[in-house]
Structure 1
């Protein structure tokens, strides 16, 4: 009797821990552009540098594969965007958020031109260093 009760308790615990099919499909995938983007920005006598660790959020593994395939084009677009920046466009939290939104727009535009769909749900700066 005790063994039967123990077996019933163990099986209900295992069922409760198993994820439903809908839960695993809803989890986003984060694709990190590696190595980090590094370059110069602004103009003037003194060189200014940035280093940006960027992650792209996609919904499916298929979208991740397509983003990975187009990574050189995405990196190029982001490097060009960062090169256009000034001290004012990188100095405050609001300015960095504006830059993040513009970077997301540019990545989505590139992917829409190449794949016919934007594929990327969000763009995140894991690290943004300005010197």
Structure 2
């Protein structure tokens, strides 16, 4: 009984050795990673007598750990660019789903421009609003 259990354990431990390893000619598959800007962006927007606030939880879709490290390195500049963009918004530019999508597209464009300027390539595939609260 002990021999069978030992044999089974040895077989289970050797399974990773049988896994298909990529050959030298094959390119490694790069999986997307989502880099969250933590803490969330919080600030005020609009003009008028009453202050209006936003809170935006944002994730950036990047391809691979190298791009993620570069995005993390430039996070302060990215955050500054996004805060400036949000502070310029009005009720009209945040009122509808279409307006929020236009804001998301503009935010993505500006983040990509910053990274293009700093790194020579955009690095960010997409920008997602995980949560966008307006008050």
TM-score normalised by the shorter chain: which range applies? 0.7 to 0.9
Distance 1:115 1:46, change over 3 A: same
Runs of 4+ in 1 over 6 A off after TM superposition: none
| Aligned counterparts, 1:23-102, within 5 A | 25-102=29-106
Tell me the TM-score normalised to structure 1 length: 0.83
Aligned-residue offset at 1:26: 3.8
Let me know the Cα RMSD of the aligned residues: 2.2
Aligned mates of 2:121, 2:76 — CA distance in 1: 18
Aligned mates of 1:28, 1:37 — CA distance in 2: 23
Which 5+ residue runs of structure 1 have no aligned equivalent?
none
Aligned residues: 120
